[in-house]
A and B are shown apart, each in its own frame.
Chain A
């Protein structure tokens, strides 16, 4: 078995024939929080969908391994079973499918038979509480008529219920008010503090650094034009907050 981690090497991908990812190199370590920041259109969401196996995103070269397993050979459901989770920026609404049934099906698919129904129920209640969600959520249809904030909380609930090895949060903070943002932060931190989630590696994709006030990043990666152009510690996020992306772009272009 080769190295642990979600390891992306020279990943190139295109959408409808347009190259968007131009050779991504990035490694998400177990138990660490990685922030991926970049201006709009830099390819952050494309990376998220390429990792998850969305059929519209064509991988043209490169490799992605999850704890040594080759992810790119697997369909989306196998990637999830391998331990990958994506928190969608725009999750699909599925009328007629109840949240509770969906959560149960997802947990069963990823970790078959590991919880009795009553233990599953107890776990659900605990996670709902962390996210400040009403149990009435469970009887609603999946994302059907949900507000933006409710959808994001449900994504976090799914993450907490499934307990992935690596979680990619695609702009989970966008469009959230302070309360919802705090709930997201609390959920991620609770997961990191739990036995099941202490080794989970996070890739938090964000445009703005404000979510990093709630979740402390170990590493910050900056993405532009489909490449990782800069890496640093938490200070890098603060610099982006102060100076904006243009300054970083100028710096990179000056070097090149």
Chain B
């Protein structure tokens, strides 16, 4: 994408002015991600985007499967902007960090697809709402906006797939909730392994609300993602679960951020990753607790498993705690498979290869358990198993 690219014409979703401003910001902002190193080969400041085929602002709409529920809106983003413009306008962009995050700015500038989910107050949607994005020859810029009314509950499953090789996806998922709402949002990215994806996920829960993100980054040559939860009201339960598993030359760069801006709220971050072949990954887990956010509880657990000599995972927990009456835990491990575990299994007749597979899959199990629906969990297990080889 040459730097002379023009913002697409404005539409009901994003005005031309806002698109142009976001595009400027994309070019101006640094990625704030580490530079290439001995293992990591891709410079995110100098991405070669010239070969991306930009379609018009009217990209392919996602497939949306939603159960019947009173007052539930589940429709393409464009339709929501036209038919539910008040609801749409008052929530669109309320959580995502398009002002400060480079790739969120790009997604905002070029959004050409999307879904809008709205659950009115006190309505619980028990079955998951499934949003499937299918990338093609042209670049896909999806935007999923989820709005939950007071006491509403919903589970969203987002799938990101492609029918074409060398897909390019740059998107946003955004959750905005009222008081005491409960949102579960799980994403499974399984693009072909020569694709690139940049995704920004951000949530702004209301007082006493629960938000659970679960993200599986399995496909793509390059996957760059951010997961954010802003705690701006007391009583919030925030959960982030992430898994990734680069193999071959896949690169994964994930940052999660929980900002405890207000006290008396809990957050829990759990990341499990493995790498094999020459797979490379970097994970940065940010937790910040502001000085006045007393009574916060935050935990961050991230474990990385290296299954080959040439694979590499950098894992950095970053806790910034300014309050004194808080509970904060963090733990990080990076290592190979445990020989004692392997010996124990082989001593029961299980061959070494099967033992390694069982142990590696078991390693992911606590994070797989955070994904809703057994179908999705089984798909994740199968995808992970095929990566182990």
- In Å, the complex CA distance between A235 and B349 comes to 36
B348 lies within 8 A of A80 (CB):
yes
The A-contacting residues of B in range 348-389, CB under 8 angstroms, are 348-352, 354-355, 358-359, 361-366
A77 lies within 8 A of B362 (CB):
no
B361 lies within 8 A of A96 (CB):
yes
Residue in B closest to A101 when the chains form the complex, CB atoms: B358
Q: Does A141 sit at the interface, judged by CB under 8 A?
A: yes
- In Å, the complex CA distance between A197 and B189 comes to 50
- Evaluate whether A95 and B366 lie within 8 angstroms (CB atoms) in the complex, with A76-B346, A106-B348, A109-B349 already known: yes
Q: Does A137 sit at the interface, judged by CB under 8 A?
A: no
- Evaluate whether A80 and B362 lie within 8 angstroms (CB atoms) in the complex, with A92-B338, A92-B341 already known: no
Q: Does B347 sit at the interface, judged by CB under 8 A?
A: yes
- In Å, the complex CA distance between A81 and B347 comes to 9
The B-contacting residues of A in range 27-56, CB under 8 angstroms, are 52-55
Q: Does B48 sit at the interface, judged by CB under 8 A?
A: no
The B-contacting residues of A in range 60-107, CB under 8 angstroms, are 75-77, 79-81, 85-86, 88, 91-97, 101-102, 105-106
Q: How large is the interface on B (under 10, 10 to 19, 20 to 34, 35 or more residues)?
A: 20 to 34
Q: Does B340 sit at the interface, judged by CB under 8 A?
A: yes
B351 lies within 8 A of A77 (CB):
yes
- In Å, the complex CA distance between A162 and B346 comes to 13
- Evaluate whether A75 and B352 lie within 8 angstroms (CB atoms) in the complex, with A95-B363, A96-B361 already known: yes
Q: Does B343 sit at the interface, judged by CB under 8 A?
A: yes
Q: Which listed residue, A86, A95, A142, touches B347 by the CB 8 Å rule?
A: A86
Least distance between A41 CB and chain B CB atoms (Å)? 21
Q: Does B86 sit at the interface, judged by CB under 8 A?
A: no
Known pairs A92-B343, A96-B362, A109-B348; list 8 more (Cβ under 8 Å).
A75-B346, A80-B349, A95-B363, A96-B365, A101-B358, A105-B348, A109-B354, A141-B362
Q: List 26 A-B residue pairs with CB atoms under 8 Å apart, sorted by A's residue number.
A: A53-B347, A54-B343, A75-B352, A77-B346, A77-B347, A77-B348, A77-B350, A80-B346, A80-B349, A81-B349, A85-B348, A88-B344, A92-B340, A92-B343, A94-B341, A94-B344, A94-B345, A96-B359, A96-B363, A97-B358, A97-B362, A102-B345, A102-B348, A105-B358, A106-B349, A109-B348
Q: Which residues of B contact A (CB under 8 A)?
A: 338-341, 343-352, 354-355, 358-359, 361-366
Q: Which residues of A contact B (CB under 8 A)?
A: 52-55, 75-77, 79-81, 85-86, 88, 91-97, 101-102, 105-106, 109-110, 141-142, 158, 162
